[in-house]
Amino acid sequence: MVTETLALWRDAERCYRVVTARDSRFDGQFIMAVRTTGIYCRPSCPASTPKVQNVRFFPTSAAAQANGFRACRRCLPDAVPGSPDWNVRADLAARAMRLISDGTVEREGVPGLARRLGYSERQLGRVLTAELGAGPLALARAHRAHSARLLIELSELPLTDVAFAAGFSSVRQFNETIREVFATTPSQLRVSAASRRGRLSDVTGTRLSLRLPFRPPFDASGLLRFFADHAMPGVEEVTSETYARTLRLAHGTGVVRLTPAPDHVRCELALTDLRDLGSAVSRVRRLLDLDADPAAVTRVLGADPALAPLVAAVPGLRVPGAVDGEELLLRALLSEVPPGEEVPGEWGVTRLFPTAAQVAATGHPVAAALAEGRLDVHVGRDAADLRAELLAYVDPSTADYVVMRVLGAPDVLLADDPAVRRGAADLGIAPDSLGERARAWTPWCSYAGMYLRRAAG
């Protein structure tokens, strides 16, 4: 799907108007690079607006880096919400970006990324370069640089350990990348961050506290209520102000506590292996739908007379995502699961969700399919392919629910969900007409469904 967001960075005139207005709603949706200074910025950078003939626009920071630009140290262009494009689009570039942000290249290399996407390395490189201005290695390098900056600024980890924790193959590669991307050395980044430490983080050992940005408005209370209604004791703990849960990550385990604030979400992480930092942050952002564009959702759904009052009353509604595809699928199917491994008690949570193999030991066929690799549920899947694969094991409603939450698919209406149907009836929408009504809600049917659930109370 070619979307307005996709075309935005190619529309230089419109991008320049955004930059002139310093409109923070567009942070993360494109990058501005300045030829005369050699730096790239977020659209809302507070520095003086450069002349129009001196700027270029790119879809990603990796593309700007590949063209010789370095990151602005004033506006920190990587510390912004991600592009909503990666959820709205279902093409190869979007699927690749979701996997890269989850650390797939660091763990499995470009061959592993290509294998998960079902393309050859050459095909993948060609498509990503054409769509995003950079190949998979350059995109992964930008992701590593961002993870490294977080560890440099938010931890006391020795810089040599930071290099390997962020996914670099050598200290030399780490030093060169930091100098090229941020125009400074790792040690200088750490010294500079020390003066801001009280504002940015609290650090103790493997504990990190980060500020996760989002595009306001943000309906945090709605997310917390949803998580409370679905919480699994031991794995999750929800209060009126926070959500905590355990995480099963590639190199170890983690525990996260999330506390919404007016302009960010405070993310406290305790990790057994800091190599999982980037993946943990990426999964948490998907869980909270932090890269959504609420203004775009409001424009479409607010135009529906039946939904408009609710959209106005509950701005910034989000669609809950998932931190693990296999877990979400099994939780959708099972009322009881065997206990997972215990972890050191933290923030009220004490154990992991069991693995598919552990659930398969109870004789559950879907868990067996997951454990044996016959069914693969991850963020890099094509939505149609994943749904077709799921239908061999589950009903269409469950397949749609999994696609919506695991992939962050914004255009899935759960028309058979009893709560959705009740909400529709309460708003004067005939439940049997939802399929037809959804045509006017595209591409935000998932959000329309969440509003209908809210109407049902």
Q: Which residues are catalytic?
A: 41, 417
208 three-class SS: strand
Cα 321 from chain centre: 9
Report the relative pairing of strands 243-248 and 39-41 from DSSP bridges: unpaired
Contact 83, 94 (CB under 8 A): no
Count CB-CB contacts under 10 A for residue 356.
22
Beta bridge partners of 254: 247, 271
Distances (CA, A) of 1 to 206, 212, 390: 41, 28, 23
Structure-token pair, residue 418: 């009893």
Dist. CA 170–CA 176, nearest whole Å: 10
For the residues of 379-401, what is the DSSP string, one character each?
A: TTS-HHHHHHHHTTTS-HHHHHH
Contact 31, 77 (CB under 8 A): yes
- Omega prior to 217 cis, within 30 of 0: yes
Say if residue 48 is exposed, middle or buried (CB neighbours under 10 Å; 0-12, 13-18, 19+).
exposed
Beta bridge partners of 243: 238, 258
Range list of β-strands (E), 35-153: 39-41, 55-58, 70-71
Q: What is the dihedral of CA 78, 80, 81, 86, to 10 degrees?
A: -30
